[in-house]
A and B are shown apart, each in its own frame.
Chain A
């Protein structure tokens, strides 16, 4: 195999990117821990919190992936009007602010929701969503679409020529082409979903039904806010990182890293599979996703016109902060994806395991001795948003970059295309789809992120999620729903623009 010479500038850029991520995650943890050395170990309550946290994260990830695979398969196989819209919509639930999504879910599955009303018509006892399974349901709602999208990307990358070959041979498509692809792609996605659910806070508590559903993140919150026990917060955050490391290790062991050979960008219909099964899956998933989203729309529309004036500058601020954060995310993710390797992948996963509260507190402690933190609020928000979106961008970009390198690396070497020209002429054009997706994800995530801004106390630099929470905290639930709807619309809009830009002229 050819030894790929890694250019100096790539080394520097990816090194700087990795360093930034490490500082924002492990560095902030170290700052917090250094400020107050942990005294004592973990209490029994902490241990049961860890147990619950891991268990619900595993279940959520398993169900998300298990349902995502047939959905992605159905989407990869079938062409139908509205497919493009559905694929975009698949990005939606993940991007919703948690409380907006939870209320939407409850409008469908809750005590007074559609499901129970329908069951009541048939005289069946109402179903309670609260508890472990409610948490899993909500997590699946958030993550199934994202997982589907990422797995779909893997499917789309199998060159059409292979399917043609399999069709003419009447060969089993699944074991021949799809299983190797899944083996390559799923462990990384499982890891991402697992970690998202691991650090979940509001969902786990609100739908969990009570203190049995305590997560490590809540324990960290309590340690920082109510007990001022930074040492314990640091210890718990270490535990979270430890769990992340274990999960990452397991996921990487299972992953194959092979390219697929190259196709000529032609889309080819497939001749395998039963249509009705695919249709069923797609209809169910669409309903599952669309119903809560529709409820969110209905709740928010009435008050949209009477929103307080503070909302609009906050919305604008959210937009340009998201724009900058997206640019930074793509820069970091590209550098790290191009560099490749286990180390970069490992570092890329770190932000998922970090507790936002610890990150914010750590940054605050880092900045405070030198300057007044509020002045840095937006800069810090941009950096942290970029770091938090990085794992997803990396998850979307890495396989694509690896494929391009293995397919066209030799040719590019032969033509003396190095560094910038290689990036510009070969890599970027061929990763447009995942690049658009990654940019869209980053933009939407940043838009909806409450982030560290609360700790940096900026009252004339509020972003839209912050204004929404302020409305909620002052009884103004309809206005909050409308602000939430605006936020969702902006997030989805940003996502759609980036995603569509990537998919134009590239066969989806």
Chain B
């Protein structure tokens, strides 16, 4: 269970307030106008931004003193998700331990993750030799291996075509959500929200609203959401 307890995040002269609880499990989408603070919200949860006020808690434990690497959070950014000078396997292996070479067990685990995202045999390629979709899968494979309960995705599939995007959503659902992880995903396409997410968080007007059931939200959108949707 993720709790944002009267949290205020400031970045420059931009300010974002959030005060809600998100139940564990399931896929929650974060939508809102650009510049509205979606990435700021995720940065605050992941630990790249310290809240000016309030606390971020996971399962009752205060995350605030923990650096990003020590939180029970995995994250995929908009870009720079892979180290270009390491192979796909090495990138994935970083989830286990910060070393370049792996024991046989670890090797097996990495191969397993690669298989689960459909990239068997591509472990030795460097990101430069992989397509956009394949790079996203490698990042996903790393998430799998890291096995952290809370997963944050910052527009991870924005550059992919519709079919590819659907494939990736499918992977996210089967690999992450179905195994009980809590997934928070930013998207700029409201259709994605309607299609795949049980809950939606609207970030607009310096406010991250509480998670609501997607269907209900879109059926009766508040003024800010209407403006954003343009309907």
Contact = CB atoms under 8 A, between A and B. Distances in A.
A430 B69 contact: no
A408 interface: yes
A426 interface: yes
A266 B129 CA distance: 10
Nearest to A417: B98
B46 to A, nearest CB: 7
Contacts of A2: 43, 48-49, 68
Contact of B67 (A413, A425, A430): A413
Contacts of B99: 421, 425
B80 A411 contact: yes
Interface string B49-85: 1100000000000000001111001110101110111
Contacts, number: 68
Given A5-B67, A266-B128, A421-B99, A414 B46 contact: yes
A3 interface: yes
B101 to A, nearest CB: 11
Nearest to B127: A264
A425 B84 CA distance: 11
A426 B83 contact: yes
Given A407-B80, A426-B83, A415 B94 contact: yes
Contacts of A426: 83
A265 interface: yes
Interface in A1-21: 1-3, 5
Nearest to B94: A415
B225 interface: no
Interface string B27-51: 0000000000000000100111110
Contacts of A429: 83, 85-86
Task: Select the residue from B11, B69, B74, B127 with max chain A CB neighbours within 10 A.
Answer: B69
Contacts of B70: 416
B66 to A, nearest CB: 10
B219 to A, nearest CB: 36
A425 B48 contact: no
Contacts of B79: 262
Nearest to A421: B98
A470 interface: no
B93 to A, nearest CB: 10
Interface in B99-122: 99-100
Interface of A: 1-3, 5, 262, 264-266, 407-408, 410-411, 413-418, 421-422, 424-426, 429-430
Given A413-B67, A417-B69, A422-B98, 4 more contacts: A5-B67, A262-B79, A413-B48, A415-B94
